[in-house]
Amino acid sequence: MSRMLLSLILLMSMGFCGCGLHWRNTDDIDGGVVTRNSGEDSPKVIESTEVISFDCEFSFISAAFDEENELTGKVYKLSAVLEDDTVKAKFDWHDRAGNGDKYEFQTDSSFMTKLQDVVSKYDLAKHNGYTHHVSGLPDMFGEQIDIKYASGESIYAHDNQDGFLPMDAMVELIELFSGKTSVN
């Protein structure tokens, strides 16, 4: 009887605290906490196409390419903000040893259109609301996107352990921000 009562109390407390719901989950692990949110309640379609702010961070520290590649072993941070028809952008990369490069540039608003082309091409909105955070991990893994639109809509996703962005999308973003090619 006491086991049954204990089980009932445990199940009720799990229900009241939100444990066991598929959209939000937190696990205690040795030395930290894992927090997950599937983002299934977040909008997966963004109607606006006017990007006003773009922030993205991703890591190729543990990426496996088919051949030797200059992207391997680096973490990239890309950002762009539209202010009065001018885009102020930043491109930053570093490796495990701390080597890297940072630069800022200004360009016209067509840059944001090119960013939106990448967002649409790879349907990045489908990741909206997804979060996965493992406490205690170094900042050289995982990915994050944060895109804001003039309409007030936004796309946000974060995972500090694994990647969720398509490899081709990340390569196109690097090429766009580094000026190596224009996205069509």
Q: Print pLDDT tens along the chain (184 aa).
A: 444 444 444 444 444 344 433 444 555 555 667 776 666 777 788 899 999 999 999 987 766 656 667 777 888 999 999 999 999 999 999 888 889 999 999 999 999 999 999 999 999 999 898 887 777 765 667 789 999 999 999 999 988 777 788 999 999 999 999 986 544 4
Q: How far lies 180's CA from each of 86, 109, 119, 170, in Å?
A: 20, 18, 18, 14
Residue 133 β-bridge partners: 35
Helix then strand then coil, % of the chain, to nearest 5: 25, 35, 40
Q: How far lies 168's CA from each of 8, 44, 45, 47, 175, in Å?
A: 49, 20, 21, 23, 10
The pTM (predicted TM-score) of the whole model is 0.76
Q: How far lies 109's CA from each of 50, 93, 169, 172, in Å?
A: 10, 24, 20, 18
Q: Which residue has the tokens 């489908």?
A: 126
- Residue 111: what pLDDT? 97
- Residue 18: what pLDDT? 40
| C-alpha–C-alpha distance, residues 171 and 158, integer Å | 18
- Residue 66: what pLDDT? 62
| β-pairing verdict for 86-95 and 100-108 | antiparallel
Is the domain covering 51-178 a CATH 3.30.1560 domain? yes
- Residue 22: what pLDDT? 41
